[in-house]
Structure 1
Amino acid sequence: MPSPRITHIALHVVDLDACVSFYADYCGMYTIHERRHGAKQIVWMAEPGRESDFIFVLMNGGQDLQLAGNDYRHFGFALGSRAEVDKLAARAEAAGCLVWAPRQEAFPVGYYCGLRDPNGNYVEFSFGQPLGPGAEDFEQLLRLQEQ
């Protein structure tokens, strides 16, 4: 019997249009499905090439989250370099949605920053974790340390 595999996260949000714009602008996601059921609106978003792998389902009717700055629950996205993390953080700071300035942490955390989406969810952008872009660098480092 196959093991369960995560396919989506569903979020109720206050401002659906603002959240769709945020995830498109900062995360490179796009709308792959939309529907309405009366007053209920539902939008499915995915990263290009991952449409059948993992999606965000955004629905109206939510409440704004008020997370503390030291609350580290978040959605994580990997970037291709430290410079990309810095560039995205500068853009987010100018827009008023930067929560965690870029910082380096010990393996396996890597280099990251955090943003607040329009509904209050935290979104991390990292480089150098053993997931996503930059993972190869750590694999090489671990192999060198084993020698």
Structure 2
Amino acid sequence: MTPRLTHIALHLRDLEASIAFYRDICGMRIVHERNDGGTRVVWMAEPGRETDFIFVLLPGGPGRDQAEKDFSHFGFALESRAAVDRVAAAAEEAGYLACPPRDEPYPVGYYCGLRDPDGNFVEFSYGQPLGPGAKPLDVGS
């Protein structure tokens, strides 16, 4: 079997704030929770993708305040440009907006950027090859 990416584990400064962010802004939900030797461990996933890919959230991390030129991020695809605008507006109101919506040439598309409570950059896009609104990426290029 070819390896398949199933999860990313995040060791977070503020577990509760991160759960709220990924639930309220990203639309994820808790799919598993346990106490592991006194440590609360939470699994979150997009509805309908609980067996495909999850975020494992762990408390007690140092935070991740990325440098200005560090483009590491989590990417969420949305169904329209209007949906990107709605996420950006909600993020701005909540104090998470780091980059207002903008258009970039294919394959980047229309996107906005947020900072989660731990400092991770989170992108919401429309028109990228892995989400709605774009032609498939030519993997031979």
Normalised to the residue count of structure 2, the TM-score between the two structures is 0.91
CA distance in 1 between partners of 2:115 and 2:128 (Å) = 21
Counterpart of 2:7 in structure 1 is 8
Offset, 1:11: 0.4
Counterpart of 2:53 in structure 1 is 54
Kindly provide the amino acid, as one letter, of the partner of residue 39 in structure 1: G
Per the alignment, in what secondary structure is the counterpart of residue 88 of structure 1? helix
On the 8 A contact 1:102/1:111 being kept in 2, the answer is yes
- The alignment's C-alpha RMSD in Å is 1.4
Listed as ranges, the matches of 1:1-147 within 5 Å are 2-135=1-134, 138-139=135-136
Deviation sequence 1:62-101 (CA, Å, 0-9, x none) = 0122213432110000000001101111111121111111
Aligned residues: 137
- Please list every run of 5 or more consecutive structure 1 residues that lacks an aligned counterpart in the other structure: 143-147
Which structure's CA Rg is the greater one?
Answer: 1
Kindly provide the amino acid, as one letter, of the partner of residue 13 in structure 1: L
Normalised to the residue count of structure 1, the TM-score between the two structures is 0.88
Offset, 1:40: 1.5
CA distance in 2 between partners of 1:69 and 1:92 (Å) = 19
Structure with higher helix content: 1
Where does structure 1 differ by over 3 angstroms across 4 or more consecutive aligned residues? none
